[in-house]
């Protein structure tokens, strides 16, 4: 009963903010109609167009918001932050009737809204804000196109966001693009004579946009990046209770998990994959239930981040033969290969404690890859031939490491 109540509360996040935004726009258009003598037809047109745009955005958020990017509690918190930032941007849009178009700071909202959702939702949200500002103020379509170009370039330079958020270089590129577009599209097109005063508004816009981007990404780092990093530090600690219990009760499996995790992290780092997620998956894939309902309870109970859930889900479905004996992600392929190599080395030592792994590891690695390739397990995955070569090289160059498994 409590779970249903919680789900009902969280469902409000998908509808109430959209309704608030619609009423805010209608109230703003009504105020403009009353105080600025807007024609009734123009008021109805602008209201209807704005409501349609907000309805489309609300539908897109409900359908495409990346809930799996975070664990559940964090996803709901980020959805709240997304709507609060969008609401702030909407207020800016409605106040644009008092602000010259050269000082509209929408480029910053493209970046921040993308950070708290994803680039698709961020681009759509920024577009929605610009269209509403253009419609409300009656500005030319060229202004809208100008800011759409700047927003698109900003998203392209800042995303995808890695574990360490890089701000300086993308910010400089974004501000340079914004300044160039404003000078050519607004300043030079409005007059034939150029004076220093004409660059004040574009300069002010650069400052405001920079503050919005820097402040928004700082908030994202504090609320999301550091939160995920803290969770990974807890889960990837060998003293975490699941791993500690395994070490006490099943030393063979514990050793298998520890060394599998080592290789998944090392390979992920070399192939520019999410090393923290793969390391975590390497620790806990033997704990993950096969049954989907039990697996969902396990994920929620341990608060696994979204990327780890995706890897463990695909791997479990593969083990349960729900995927036609095919893997789709590089991450799951790396996990399977690491599991197999470590298991084979442990079995070799158990059969012959004096086995010379230095001579046999190359053949063992080649045989493992050959077996999986013939079975077509990687046929539908995005694992490239170059990736396979790199993974083989890593397994073969760690000959001294395998002595730890003896």
- Whether 153 shows a pLDDT value over 90: the answer reads yes
Are 218 and 225 in contact, with CB atoms under 8 Å apart? no
Task: Give 294 or 10, the one with higher predicted confidence.
Answer: 294
User: Range with the lowest mean pLDDT among 28-42, 199-213, 214-228, 253-267?
Assistant: 28-42
Q: Name which residue leads in pLDDT, 43 or 150.
A: 150
**Measured between alpha carbons, how far apart are the two ends of the chain, in Å?**
52
CA torsion sign for 35, 48, 115, 233 is positive
For 22-49, the pLDDT digits (tens) are 888 888 777 776 676 667 777 777 788 8
Residue 8: the pLDDT is 40
Answer whether residue 279 shows pLDDT above 80. yes
Q: How many CA atoms lie within 13 A of 184 on its CB side?
A: 10
Give the pair of three-digit tokens for residue 242: 């699941």
Q: Please tell me the predicted confidence (pLDDT) of residue 9.
A: 41
Please check whether residue 119 is in contact with residue 152, taking contact to mean a CB–CB distance below 8 angstroms.
no
More confident residue, 241 or 306: 241
* Range 178-188 average pLDDT: 80
With helix as H, strand as E and coil as C, how does the chain read?
Answer: CHHHHHHHHHHHHHCHHHHHHHHHHHHHHHHHHHHCCCCHHHHHHHHHHHHHHHHHHHHHHHHHCCHHHCCHHHHHHHHHHHHHHHHHHHHHHHHHHHCCHHHCCHHHHHHHHHHCCCHHHHHHHHHHHHHHHHHHHCCCHHHHHHHHHHHHHHHHHHCCCCCCCCCHHHHHHHHHHHHHHHHHHHHHHHCCCCCHHHHHHHHHHHHHHHHHHHHHHHHHHHHHHHHHHHHHHHHCCCCCHHHHHHHHHCHHHHHHHHHHHHHHHHHHHHCCCCHHHHHHHHHHCCCCCCCHHHHHHHHHHHCCCHHHHHHHHHHHHHHCCCCCCCCCCHHHHHHHHHHHHHHHHHHHHHHCCCCCHHHHHHHHHHHHHHHHHHHCCCCCCCCCHHHHHHHHHHHHHCCCHHHHHC
Length of the chain: 406
What pLDDT does 38 receive?
A: 67
Residue-level pLDDT at 3: 41
Mean pLDDT score, 44-68: 80
- Residue 365 or residue 160, greater confidence: 365
- Of 98, 109, 217, give the one whose Cα is nearest residue 164: 217
């Amino acid at each position: 009963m409590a779970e249903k109540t919680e789900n009902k509360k969280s469902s409000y996040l998908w509808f109430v903010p959209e309704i608030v935004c619609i009423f805010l726009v209608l109230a703003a258009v009504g105020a403009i109609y009353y105080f600025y003598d807007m024609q009734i037809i123009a008021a109805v047109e602008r209201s209807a167009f704005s409501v349609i745009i907000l309805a489309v955005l609300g539908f897109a958020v409900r359908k495409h918001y990346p809930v799996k990017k975070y664990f559940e509690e964090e996803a709901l918190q980020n959805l709240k932050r997304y709507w609060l930032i969008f609401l702030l941007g909407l207020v800016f849009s409605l106040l644009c009737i008092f602000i010259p178009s050269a000082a509209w700071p929408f480029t910053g909202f493209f970046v921040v809204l993308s950070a708290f959702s994803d680039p698709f939702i961020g681009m759509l949200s920024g577009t929605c804000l610009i269209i509403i500002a253009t419609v409300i103020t009656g500005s030319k379509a060229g202004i809208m196109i100008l800011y759409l170009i700047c927003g698109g370039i900003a998203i392209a330079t800042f995303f995808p966001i890695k574990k360490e958020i890089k701000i300086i270089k993308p910010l400089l590129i974004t501000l340079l693009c914004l300044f160039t577009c404003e000078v050519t599209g607004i300043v030079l097109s409005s007059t034939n004579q150029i004076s220093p005063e004409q660059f004040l508004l574009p300069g002010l816009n650069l400052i405001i946009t920079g503050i919005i981007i820097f402040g928004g990404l700082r908030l994202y780092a504090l609320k999301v990046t550091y939160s995920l990093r803290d969770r990974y530090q807890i889960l990837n600690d060998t003293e975490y209770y699941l791993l500690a219990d395994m070490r006490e009760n099943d030393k063979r499996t514990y050793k298998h998990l520890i060394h599998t995790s080592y290789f998944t992290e090392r390979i992920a780092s070399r192939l520019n994959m999410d090393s923290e997620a793969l390391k975590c998956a390497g620790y806990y894939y033997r704990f993950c239930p096969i049954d989907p309902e039990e697996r969902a309870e396990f994920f929620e109970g341990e608060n696994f981040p979204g990327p780890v859930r995706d890897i463990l889900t695909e791997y479990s479905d593969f083990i349960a033969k729900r995927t036609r004996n095919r893997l789709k992600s590089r991450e799951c392929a790396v996990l399977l290969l690491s599991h197999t190599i470590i298991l084979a080395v442990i079995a070799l030592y158990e059969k012959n404690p004096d086995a010379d792994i230095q001579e046999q590891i190359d053949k063992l690695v080649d045989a493992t890859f050959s077996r999986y390739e013939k079975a077509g397990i990687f046929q539908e995955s995005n694992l490239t031939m170059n990736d396979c070569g790199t993974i083989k090289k890593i397994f073969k160059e760690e000959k001294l490491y395998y002595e730890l498994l003896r």
